[in-house]
Amino acid sequence: MIHLRIVAPHDTSDQVLELLEDSRSVINVILLEGVARKPDGDVILCDVAREDASVIIDDLRELGIPERGSISMEYIDTQISEAARRAVQHAPGLPSDAVIWEDVESRSEEMTELSLTFMAFMVIAMLIASVGILLDQPILIVGAMVVGPEFGPLAGLCVALVEQRRTLVRRSTLALAVGFPVGILVTVGATAIFDGLNLIPDQFVPDDHPLTNFISKPDVFSAFVAFVAGIAGVLSLTSAKSGALVGVLISVTTIPAAANIGVATALSDSGEATGAALQLGVNLASIVAAGVSTLYIQRLVYLARRRRHLSDPARRSAGLNVGRSPHGSGAGPLPGPEEETVRTSER
């Protein structure tokens, strides 16, 4: 179940209540009349089945709640209620398969920020990977994969492409376009310092490190693993199963490949640097292709659900058009945070 806290203007709260009370997937509707002060209005609390959360929130958007009030959302871990069981049963599908698009959009926005923390993690991850390459230690490569934050902008780019949000495309691309080159340049400098201090093992040859040689040798399996890892990453994002994301990070060689570019460049091995650059490109392209494909299918499923919901009698009770929406019939993308603000609480 999903808990919603809605701040509605006085002249709209009756419509909101009608919508929520007549929706069979919504329970525990509570009205706190006149308690909101900024913005001024009524506070309405309710719980909604996860499968119908996005369609209910989109109905609230049609009532203009985000413009004049707010919608906050949080997950309910456990609820012991026969009414809750019936609400979940009424909503078609399984809660584990449901995508709450507002949550996906909000997290995508956060993960694409070009912050100092993001840059620090990019640099640290590549430095760890560079030592792993120099010492031919796979465990350090795995550690660098886990530390690397690059999947956030990649996921944000996938969401932006599917929802046709140009601002998010620019933010995601900027984070990747700045993060990787800066990390590579720092790795070049660090490797040059290691070389100048004679810290690089004597037996190390840039294009011959058996245990980590796969980093600069892309093949069909590189693309395949990155593609299926991209699918898993998007599923972990849309299903809020963050535990699976660790496995995704360990499966792709974006950070190690970028670090290898820096190491090979510092040691003047152009062939190794080219191979690592190709590996990086293959991984990035495969992850984005997989993410966009997965999100597109999930979006089609949601739009079909939204079209069916437009005929729900609860919409008539709330004064909304039945069978159609001002956002369209459901054939195209619904508005995201760039058009309307939905506040999502920290979980």
Residues 56 and 172 in one domain: no
Q: How many residues are given for the chain?
A: 347
- Its pTM stands at 0.84
pLDDT tens for each residue of the chain, 347 residues long: 999 999 999 999 999 999 999 999 999 999 999 999 999 999 999 999 999 999 999 999 999 999 999 999 999 988 899 999 999 988 877 777 788 999 888 888 888 889 999 999 999 999 999 999 999 999 999 999 989 999 999 999 999 999 989 999 999 999 999 999 999 999 999 999 999 999 998 878 877 778 788 888 899 999 999 999 999 888 888 886 655 566 666 778 899 999 999 999 999 999 999 999 999 999 999 999 999 999 999 999 999 888 888 888 888 888 888 877 765 433 334 444 444 443 334 33
Residues 61 and 158 in one domain: no
Q: Which of 71, 29, 78, 31 is nearest to 54 (CA)?
A: 71
How large is the angle between the packed helices 151-163 and 270-309, nearest 10 degrees? 40
pLDDT of residue 332: 37
Edge to edge, the sheet with strand 26-37 lists: 26-37, 40-48, 2-8, 70-75
Alpha-carbon distance 149 to 146, whole Å? 8
Domain assignment present for residue 330? The answer is: no
Q: Say how many domains are in the chain.
A: 2
Domain assignment present for residue 59? The answer is: yes
- Cα-based torsion angle of the residue sequence 135, 140, 142, 146 in order, rounded to the nearest 10 degrees: -140
pLDDT of residue 227: 95
Residues 158 and 287 in one domain: yes
Alpha-carbon distance 84 to 171, whole Å? 39
Domain assignment present for residue 174? The answer is: yes
Alpha-carbon distance 52 to 99, whole Å? 9
pLDDT of residue 319: 85
Domain assignment present for residue 265? The answer is: yes
Residues 219 and 276 in one domain: yes
What's 56's domain CATH number? 3.30.70.240
Domain assignment present for residue 179? The answer is: yes
Structural domain that includes position 132: 105-299
